[in-house]
Amino acid sequence: MAEVATAPNPQQQVPLDTIPISPSDQTSSSEQKSTAATSDGEIRTVFDDPENFNVKHPLMNMWTLWFTKPPSGKGDNWNELLKEVISFDSVEEFWGIYNNITPTSDLALKADYHLFKKGVRPEWEDTQNKHGGKWAFQFKDKKAVNIDALWLHVMLAAIGENLEDEDDNEVMGVVVNVRKGFYRIGLWTRTVGKALPSEQNKGRTFEQGKEVLNKIGRRFKSALQLKENELVEFSGHTDSAHAGSTRAKAKFAV
């Protein structure tokens, strides 16, 4: 593989074009597999040889990592702070990216990571998000929580499609916020339970939709390794926008 980038400055993003995500010959995965088969007849995955693997494990969806820079206090707007980092659609690419970016625990205050399906911006106003909501939990004792491990578990659950069933079509992405008094991890959904305007008369009933969201919430809670008495709350993006904050009144909790 290409030389691994040096340890990043917690206040600065790694140059993502330097991240090694495939063998050093830079050939395509199909070419790599063909070359490997003719040279020694052996197929090597990243689990067999992290330096010289010749096949990749595809994900069901392509995902995009986003980063929110801390505001400078000079009138920054959201579009200036939110940066699209890189997209990937294989297990190997995910680990190549994850292993070469700043850990969440080392990010500056008011920074965020967002991991969303390709084509979905991590914004309330995005057409695919505007009728949706999110599950969220705040870890208020920052010293007592391994935020890096928990964020990794949530990302793996998302890209591994373990947070919802195949036909649910709800999970848009996951986000981690670094704040002075807490860490917060959230999971964004496409709806708040009721059918979208374009799906009237053919979508789920509200009760069916609510049960789907509750099931997702329970799986999210499990990924966060929370205790039974620790509640994960769900709120709608529209409610959050009207409240002027991300802490809108919860619609329900698990």
List the domain range (segments joined by +) for residue 155. Answer: 102-253
Q: Which residues contact 168 (CB under 8 A, 6 or more apart)?
A: 212, 215, 216
At 153-197, the pLDDT tens digits run: 999 999 999 999 999 999 999 999 999 999 999 999 999 988 777
Helix (H, G, I), strand (E, B) or coil at 202: coil
CATH code, domain with 124 = 3.30.760.10
Task: Judge whether 210 lies within some domain.
Answer: yes
Cα(171)–Cα(116) distance, integer angstroms: 9
Task: Judge whether 192 lies within some domain.
Answer: yes
What are the C-alpha distances in Å from 153 to residues 12, 53, 59, 176? 24, 24, 16, 12
Task: Judge whether 71 lies within some domain.
Answer: no
- Residue 4 is predicted with a pLDDT of 27
The beta strands (E) that lie in 91-142 are given as 112-117, 133-139
Task: Judge whether 35 lies within some domain.
Answer: no
Task: Judge whether 30 lies within some domain.
Answer: no
Instruction: Find the distance separating the first CA and the last CA of the chain, reported in whole Å.
Output: 44
User: The dihedral of CA 117, 54, 45, 41: what is its sign?
Assistant: positive
Q: Kindly indicate the confidence band of residue 72, based on its pLDDT and cuts at 50, 70 and 90.
A: confident
- Residue 155 is predicted with a pLDDT of 97
Cα(237)–Cα(132) distance, integer angstroms: 6
- Residue 201 is predicted with a pLDDT of 55
Cα(10)–Cα(111) distance, integer angstroms: 11
- 205: burial class by Cβ within 10 Å (0-12, 13-18, 19+)? exposed
At 125-142, the pLDDT tens digits run: 999 999 999 999 999 999
Encoding tokens for residue 120? Answer: 């979905």
Q: How many domains does the chain have?
A: 1
Encoding tokens for residue 48? Answer: 């067999």
At 2-49, the pLDDT tens digits run: 332 333 333 344 444 444 443 333 333 433 333 334 355 677 776 677
Do the Cβ atoms of 86 and 142 come closer than 8 Å? no
Task: Judge whether 56 lies within some domain.
Answer: no
